[in-house]
Amino acid sequence: MLGRFDYERPTSLAEAARLLTECGSSAAVLAGGTDLLVDLRAGRRIVRLLVGVKRIDALRRLDVDSAGELTIGAAVPLNEMIERAAIRRTHPGLVQAAESIATYQLRNRATAVGNLCNASPAADMAPILLALGACLIAWSPRGERTIPLSSLFVGVKKTCLAPDEIATELRVPAPEPGLRSRFLKQQRLRGHDLAVSSAAGTYAPSTGVLRLAVGSCAPTPLLLEPIEVGRSSRAAVEEKAVRAVQVAMRPISDTRASADYRRAVLPVLVKRLVADLLAEGGAP
């Protein structure tokens, strides 16, 4: 049903990279497998080797260093991230995005890094991580590469990762003091559904900078230009944000929604997001 393939479960990155290099494009990394196995079953992907990476210790890191930088290993299931109280406190938007994905059972397997590497235009982890300025670390026999998320997505389900590169972890910079973060996702129903439209943002009262990113409205998730809030009224900032989104978005009609619907809904999400982020005395 999934095709015919071999499975290896290396315990080191070097071994994983060796296996991937040997097999080339007919090998794939298996972390959570919640996108990959569905694709294999549908025949959208064909592989000869799956390289399971969940036993590689280096990919299981989930920690916050003393400066507040967050590291999320590639093999860390979403639920593990969601259940870390410290992350919910400092990066609530990140937890909101993770909680919106699929179902509890799938979140015990699916990973944030996997969500990004699958590179769906509707990837739920993308907008908030873009707004947070996160980077993806990729490892190959040639060395380690730090990829800003804004450079990761190059097309529908396409990343800039080389065939022998393994994404090892996400690094989220230490948040500015009092940083607020939010994620909003428009779905057809409550529960397991892909995003019809999505928007994420961060606002740092200490710097007055608003960062917005949107999903499910273009071939890739989009990071918008930061907005200096300054002394502008909330209405003015909302208008600026909405105009920026309307210029940037290139929605399509698909099974979940029409392009017109997306053009109507995304600005509403963005307005709500801005209002929430700028609210006086707002919590992180």
Partner 1 sequence: MPSELTLLEFLRNRLYLTGTKEGCGIGECGACTVLLDEKPVTACLVLAVEVDGCIVETVEGEATGGQLSVLQRAFVETGAVQCGFCTPGMIMSARGLLRRNPNPSDEEIVEAMAGNLCRCTGYEAILAAVRRAAAAVRPAVGPLAGEVGLADGRSLRGAVPKRDPEKGGRR
In the set 18, 109, 157, 263, which binds partner 1 (CB under 8 A)?
109
79 near partner 1 (CB under 8 A): yes
The CA distance from 225 to 33, in Å, is 34
Give the range of 67-75, 84-92, 102-110, 236-244 binding partner 1 by CB under 8 A.
Answer: 102-110
The CA distance from 174 to 15, in Å, is 32
The CA distance from 202 to 152, in Å, is 20
- What sign for the dihedral angle of Cα 218, 221, 226, 231? positive
Give the range of 100-108, 198-206, 213-221, 244-252 binding partner 1 by CB under 8 A.
Answer: 100-108
Q: Which residues of 136-172 are buried (b: 16+ CB within 10 A; e: fewer)?
A: bbbbbeeeebebebbebbeeebebebeebbbbbbbeb
Nearest distance from C-beta of residue 103 to partner 1, angstroms: 3
Stretch 168-207 residues interacting with partner 1 (CB under 8 A): 190-192
Give the range of 47-55, 167-175, 240-248, 252-260 binding partner 1 by CB under 8 A.
Answer: 47-55
Q: How far, in Å, are 67, 200, 235 from residue 239 at the CA level?
A: 35, 16, 6
In the set 10, 52, 205, 219, which binds partner 1 (CB under 8 A)?
52
Q: How far, in Å, are 32, 125, 210 from residue 156 at the CA level?
A: 20, 15, 27
* Angle CA 222–223–227, to nearest 5: 140
103 near partner 1 (CB under 8 A): yes
Give the range of 101-109, 180-188, 197-205, 214-222 binding partner 1 by CB under 8 A.
Answer: 101-109
In the set 3, 141, 163, 178, which binds partner 1 (CB under 8 A)?
3
Binding stretches for partner 1 (CB under 8 A): 1-7, 9, 30, 33-34, 37-38, 40-41, 50, 52, 54, 79, 102-106, 108-109, 190-192
